[in-house]
Amino acid sequence: MKLFKYFLIFILLMAAFGGRELYLKDEANGKIRDIQNFTESTLKWNSSNFQPERYNETSNLKVSRITNILNKAVDFFGFSTFEITKFSLEYGYENPKWDYKTIMDLVIGIIYLIIIATLVPVVPYIIALIYLIGYGIYYLIKKWRNKNTISPQYK
């Protein structure tokens, strides 16, 4: 669910940015459109409805029920994302003064910070692994050099 939340914020900002660009393009062409009518008439959610087969056996009935649950989950997440996109497209069209690129750069920066904060606990292990590999190579080279030289007791 955490990933879905970040995905929705990303969609919200990108669609608002798209609405702003649509407004600027319409303004350059000298026309103004009714954005609510535009989003309702052109952007429609195609539901993933299907007619599941009815089974008499219990094992196939369980598969049918799981398929129905997955179908409803896909519809919920898809419809929610679609409506949020329509809302933010309308918002960006009605508020073109806002600079959504700055907000998007801020969100991308926050995502980078989250990734770096996630990787910080791993860094000491990576450093230790590099140190151990380097020390092992040094030890093998030292052992190989000592093997190729004649030790003083055999002179």
> How far is residue 32's CA from residue 113's CA, in Å, rounded to a whole number?
40
Burial 101-136 (b: 16+ CB within 10 A, else e): eeeeeebeeeeeeeeeeeeeeeeeeeeeeeeeeeee
Can you give the pLDDT at residue 124?
Answer: 92
pLDDT winner (highest mean) among 20-29, 80-89, 109-118, 131-140:
131-140
Domain coordinates of the chain in residue numbers?
2-98
The reported pTM is: 0.55
**Once rounded to an integer, what is the mean pLDDT over residues 6-23?**
81
Q: Please, where are the H alpha helices in the chain?
A: 2-29, 35-42, 58-94, 100-119, 123-148
Kindly report, residue by residue over 98-143, the tens digit of the pLDDT. Answer: 777 777 788 788 889 888 988 899 999 999 999 999 999 999 988 8
> What's the chain's average pLDDT?
80
